[in-house]
Amino acid sequence: GAVVSQHPSWVICKSGTSVKIECRSLDFQATTMFWYRQFPKQSLMLMATSNEGSKATYEQGVEKDKFLINHASLTLSTLTVTSAHPEDSSFYICSATGVETQYFGPGTRLLVL
Amino acid sequence: QQQVKQSPQSLIVQKGGISIINCAYENTAFDYFPWYQQFPGKGPALLIAIRPDVSEKKEGRFTISFNKSAKQFSLHIMDSQPGDSATYFCAASRMRGAQKLVFGQGTRLTINP
């Protein structure tokens, strides 16, 4: 149980385009999901907290207009990287809250050319 | 006060040995301390977690030791195996589930055969 999926697992896009990443809790409902960003050989950096039916809460320094988060249902949250640039290339990971803890997705590798 | 400090940054252990990773926190409001294992290109997976009302928790070869007065906790991997080679992150939060996790910097563990 407690499986979280992400789609796509990797994406390559041109600079200036937008990319949408989906995070789904497959066998449980999650009122709260988190989005993280991880650079190579670094720890996870929390970008935002996503609550079902309400606006996301962004961490300091994260541009909310660039990283659009939508949490339309108890099993789906999406992160859209708008007008992506090479510096947005990273590993994006979501997590969904269960009863006991956060369960993490497998991550999405984004490469912006 | 929100930081979780993790050491060492990297660790090499011989097969069959004991791997020990340490973490220290400052915020006494933290009351949930999980450890995550991450393989390259994958999302973190929960290994084991502890709450401050116990000093030790063991699950198979993995043990968490918790010292509330010192605000420190550690992960011990007994009989370390090459398959344990991964990056390990400690974390802390104020409550299980829906609260933000504060991650340590990570420890890259290599088990030599």
pLDDT in tens, A41-100: 899 999 999 988 888 999 999 999 999 999 888 899 999 999 999 999 999 999 998 776
Tell me how far apart the alpha carbons of residues A80 and A10 are, in angstroms, rounded to a whole number: 14
- DSSP, res B32: B
What is the per-residue pLDDT across B12-70, written as a single tens digit (0 to 9) for each? 999 999 999 999 999 998 999 999 999 999 999 999 999 989 999 999 999 999 999 99
Say what the pLDDT of residue A52 is: 85
Say what the pLDDT of residue B40 is: 93
Give the closest-approach CA distance of A96 to chain B in angstroms: 8
- Tell me the pairing of strands B107-112 and B10-14: parallel
Q: Does the CA dihedral B22-B28-B32-B36 come out positive or negative?
A: negative
CB contact (8 A) between residue B97 and residue A44: no
Give the closest-approach CA distance of A32 to chain B in angstroms: 6
Residue B70 sits at the vertex; the CA angle it makes with B64 and B71, to the nearest 5 degrees, is 60
Under 8 Å between Cβ of A26 and A5:
yes
pLDDT of B106 over the 90 cut: yes
Higher local confidence (pLDDT), B99 or A74: A74
Say what the pLDDT of residue B82 is: 97
Under 8 Å between Cβ of A47 and A62:
yes
Q: Residues of B numbered 45-74 whose beta carbons fall under 8 angstroms of chain A's beta carbons: which are they?
A: 45-46, 49
DSSP H or E stretch at residue A39: none
Task: Give residue B94's pLDDT band: very low, low, confident or very high (50, 70, 90).
Answer: confident
B98 vs A contacts (CB less than 8 Å): 31-32, 97
Interface of A with B (CB under 8 A): 4, 6, 31-32, 34, 41-44, 46, 49, 91, 93, 97-107, 109
pLDDT of B96 over the 70 cut: no
Say what the pLDDT of residue B63 is: 97
Q: How many residues does chain A have?
A: 113
Task: Give residue B1's pLDDT band: very low, low, confident or very high (50, 70, 90).
Answer: low
Say what the pLDDT of residue A22 is: 97
Beta partners for residue B107, in sequence order = B88
CB contact (8 A) between residue B97 and residue A101: yes
Say what the pLDDT of residue B98 is: 63
Task: Give residue A2's pLDDT band: very low, low, confident or very high (50, 70, 90).
Answer: confident
Beta partners for residue A28, in sequence order = none
Distances (CA, A) of A80 to A69, A90, B3: 6, 14, 28
